Structure 1
Amino acid sequence: MIKPIELPFYAKIAFILVTFLAIGFIFCIGKDVITPVLMAFLFAVLLMPVFTFLNLKLKFPRHLAAIISVLIFALFIIGILVFISYQVTDIANDFPTIKKNANAFILDIQKFIRENFHISIGEQKKYIDNVAKDSVKNGNANIGSALISVTDLLLDCTIIPIYTFLFLLYKNHFILFFAKLINKENHAVLKDILSQIKVSINNYIVSLIFEMIVVSVLTSLGLWIVGVKYFILLGLITGILNLIPYIGILIAGIITIFASLTGTPETSVILSILIVNLIVQLIDNNILVPLIINSKVEINAMVSIIGIIIGGAVAGISGMFLAIPLLAILKIIFDRIESLEPWGYFMGNHVPKRFIWRIRKVKTEN
């Protein structure tokens, strides 16, 4: 029997750091391929109960069960997009009113700046014109980037359903592949890891959907009380964009303020919208996220924030969305491998109330 090699602590740390750097480098150079695969994996885990019901209960062939599962999910997404596009068309019809109210709102802001900061309206317009000229100079690059982004989005919308179908179809094949990678005595641990990953991802995605619904309802109710037109659409957009950490709610607030100009340019309405978004975010961050999200993935806030920032730097919005479930998967693996258990504890949110160092006294003989 081959004895395992015992390495000093500093060597283990060095190997861990090199491994993390290698994985990060692979993600950076292959994000266009890896990101759709990971998104499809999450959707496949979410659709697994539907696939299992169709395949085992209703006796559908595996191919047909996988196709129907993906189609159900695609129709759900398409239904939401159709509703949003229908409402956006109504907002587009009110564009002349939006333009008129926007000009009135900008004029009020310019008067406020002139009265409080003693900057004339002419100087403000001159500054805005200079900024506009700089934007025009960089317009070609921005248009090119936008076209590339749209192309990538269309490609992902095509390839992700295909990947999801393949994950569902070859589920047992992948499990057998992992089983062949490790020794038979560790198969029980592998089975536990895979089952916990399935439960964790399912709970996380279902919790996200529930959080999205609650945020949408609360925002719609608040906007209805304030008197904003299209409050249902704006509440739904806020709930969907809230899935994007940090920047999602900012984008939703800008869209809501822009849409509110279909009714009135009054500053009080815009302030009311900001207050509504602030209250909903306080409820979301202090009640919904701790009770619904954090309780499912069991990852502490510091690791979550660092993971989201790294995910955003590597793969943009998709990386920010994937950060939490990937961290949850890593924690499940770390918790069940003895040598990696300290890292799983570090990622967790179980903070002891008190820790006392217990140092054993050693008697020395003279």
Structure 2
Amino acid sequence: MLEMLNRWYQRRFSDPHAVSLIALLVVGFVVIYFFGNLLAPLLVAIVLAYLLEWPVSKMVSFGLPRVASVILVLTIFVGLMLLACFGLVPTIWTQVINLIADIPTMFNDLQNYISHLPEAYPDVIQPQMVKAFIDTLQSRVLGLGETAVKGSLASLVSLATLAVYLILVPLLLFFLLKDRDQMLASFSTVLPRNRRLTNRVGTEMNEQISNYIRGKVTEIIIVGIASYITFSLLDLRYAALLSVATGLSVLIPYIGAAAVTLPIFMVALFQWGISPELGYLMLAYGIIQALDGNVLVPVLFSEAVNLHPVAIIVAVLVFGGLWGFWGVFFAIPLATLVKAVWNALPSNDLEDDAVEESSN
């Protein structure tokens, strides 16, 4: 057993460049795991820098100075964000309030419907089963109410954090875009000299992450707009709120689409009941999800979708458990990073050589 482990170690980590690569990954993991909350504004700024580097580079290629390009792109970006906040957020907030106000009515209708099931299906459903289910449902609703109260108290702290982000993130974003080359050069001076594999993996992942962030933002916008148009045409309540939820659900591959289906179905069920309108809505929603998964995702993430769905789901669970939202958001790039690192490590198959020598 020890000999086998020693051969595996020699096969994978005999190159000092491989040791440097693994050491840098371990240091990065430790820093983000233990200091991720402190570095959150920097992480947000880095994500936005990846998103905005493409238009900045395009303007620079047209002859505009980099500083002027950064200022222009940031001005347009901030303007679009303010337009979205003042145009979309009030509508969503109003629909959230209306949904919360309608929840008691929805809950009572659900109780009445369930309580009459024993009369409709006496051979299948017993009254004791219905009573137990309603009691459990009531306790869960009370638990959700307590959680909402605690969340409202914690939101005061979140507002203070948001105020800090609104100041720090734009400043960090400006300097990350403006002084990108100088920062990268300074960072390279502290890296180990044996970094041939690190440079190879870093170059690959830099392009992967850049394409992934731009693609993910594009996917969110397209899916959200398509969902809003569909929900509005079918006259579904809370169309803006549910379309935003559908757009953001693409952040979590596979799991997000399944999670957002339930509230859409429940809202439609309470609005129309078991009717053709409910069927039309779920059919249209299914078409949107099918087009997203089979057309939009392959176009936007032609390299990332080479990962097996099981690998993506495992990456979401593992990295989401480690780093929360950021782990979920970067689950696919992180899984790609693991794959790229494994492929980059040396693989001198000593065992096969030994077999060939013995056969000779």
Q: TM-score, with normalisation over the residues of structure 1?
A: 0.69
Aligned 8 A contact 1:37 1:160 in 2:
yes
Change in Cα spacing, 1:148 to 1:110, as seen in structure 2 (3 Å) is: farther
Question: 2-side partners of 1:239 and 1:216: how far apart?
Answer: 4
- The one-letter code matched in structure 1 to 2:74 is V
Change in Cα spacing, 1:87 to 1:144, as seen in structure 2 (3 Å) is: closer
Of 59, 66, 73, which aligns to 2:70? 66
Note the alpha carbon deviations across 1:195-251, whole angstroms, 9 max, x for none.
Answer: 544432332223223433443354345435644246466434412332234553355
- The one-letter code matched in structure 2 to 1:309 is L
Runs (5+) with no aligned partner, structure 2: 1-5, 348-354
Of 300, 314, 319, which aligns to 1:306? 314
Residues 41-80 of structure 1 aligned to structure 2 (within 5 Å): 41-54=46-59, 57=62, 59-60=64-65, 62=67, 64-80=68-84
Deviation at 1:32, TM superposition (A): 0.6
Change in Cα spacing, 1:9 to 1:205, as seen in structure 2 (3 Å) is: same
- The one-letter code matched in structure 1 to 2:169 is I
* Structure with larger RCO (C-alpha < 8 A, sep 6+): 2
Question: 2-side partners of 1:145 and 1:246: how far apart?
Answer: 30
Q: Secondary structure at the match of 1:242?
A: helix
Runs (5+) with no aligned partner, structure 1: 1-6, 343-358
Of 173, 181, 199, which aligns to 2:182? 173
- The one-letter code matched in structure 1 to 2:216 is L
Note the alpha carbon deviations across 1:108-160, whole angstroms, 9 max, x for none.
Answer: 24433664422377666544444455556667655555555555455445433
**1:345 corresponding residue in structure 2:** none
Change in Cα spacing, 1:148 to 1:304, as seen in structure 2 (3 Å) is: farther
Aligned 8 A contact 2:304 2:333 in 1:
no
Question: 2-side partners of 1:169 and 1:226: how far apart?
Answer: 46
Note the alpha carbon deviations across 1:268-327, whole angstroms, 9 max, x for none.
Answer: 355654454344333333443344324357544444333222221122122210232344
Of 168, 171, 192, which aligns to 1:162? 171
Question: 2-side partners of 1:85 and 1:317: how far apart?
Answer: 21
Aligned 8 A contact 2:253 2:313 in 1:
no
**1:204 corresponding residue in structure 2:** 212
Aligned 8 A contact 1:105 1:267 in 2:
no
Q: Secondary structure at the match of 2:127?
A: coil
Question: 2-side partners of 1:110 and 1:319: how far apart?
Answer: 43
Change in Cα spacing, 1:92 to 1:172, as seen in structure 2 (3 Å) is: closer
**2:271 corresponding residue in structure 1:** 264
Change in Cα spacing, 1:153 to 1:246, as seen in structure 2 (3 Å) is: farther
Aligned 8 A contact 1:216 1:236 in 2:
yes
Note the alpha carbon deviations across 1:74-98, whole angstroms, 9 max, x for none.
Answer: 3323333333224336636866777
1:29 equivalent in alignment to 2:34: yes
Residues 138-157 of structure 1 aligned to structure 2 (within 5 Å): 142-149=151-158, 151-157=160-166
Of 307, 328, 331, which aligns to 1:320? 328
- The one-letter code matched in structure 2 to 1:69 is V
Change in Cα spacing, 1:300 to 1:146, as seen in structure 2 (3 Å) is: same
Percentage identity across paired residues of the two chains:
18
Q: Which moved more, 1:116-125 or 1:304-313?
A: 116-125
Aligned 8 A contact 2:66 2:178 in 1:
no
**2:95 corresponding residue in structure 1:** 91
Aligned CA-pair RMSD: 4.6
- The alignment of Structure 1 onto Structure 2 pairs a total of residues equal to 339
Aligned 8 A contact 1:44 1:168 in 2:
yes
Question: 2-side partners of 1:321 and 1:92: how far apart?
Answer: 24
Aligned 8 A contact 2:250 2:256 in 1:
yes
Note the alpha carbon deviations across 1:9-35, whole angstroms, 9 max, x for none.
Answer: 347679899986665444322121344
Note the alpha carbon deviations across 1:40-76, whole angstroms, 9 max, x for none.
Answer: 22321221133334556454462x5434333322332
Residues 1-366 of structure 1 aligned to structure 2 (within 5 Å): 9-10=8-9, 23-54=28-59, 57=62, 59-60=64-65, 62=67, 64-88=68-92, 91=95, 100=105, 103-112=108-117, 115-116=120-121, 117-119=125-127, 126-132=135-141, 142-149=151-158, 151-181=160-190, 190=199, 196-220=204-228, 222-224=230-232, 226-229=234-237, 231=239, 234-250=242-258, 252-257=260-265, 260=268, 264-268=271-275, 269-270=277-278, 272-296=280-304, 298-328=306-336, 340=345, 360=356, 362=358
Aligned 8 A contact 1:101 1:265 in 2:
no
Aligned 8 A contact 1:40 1:160 in 2:
yes
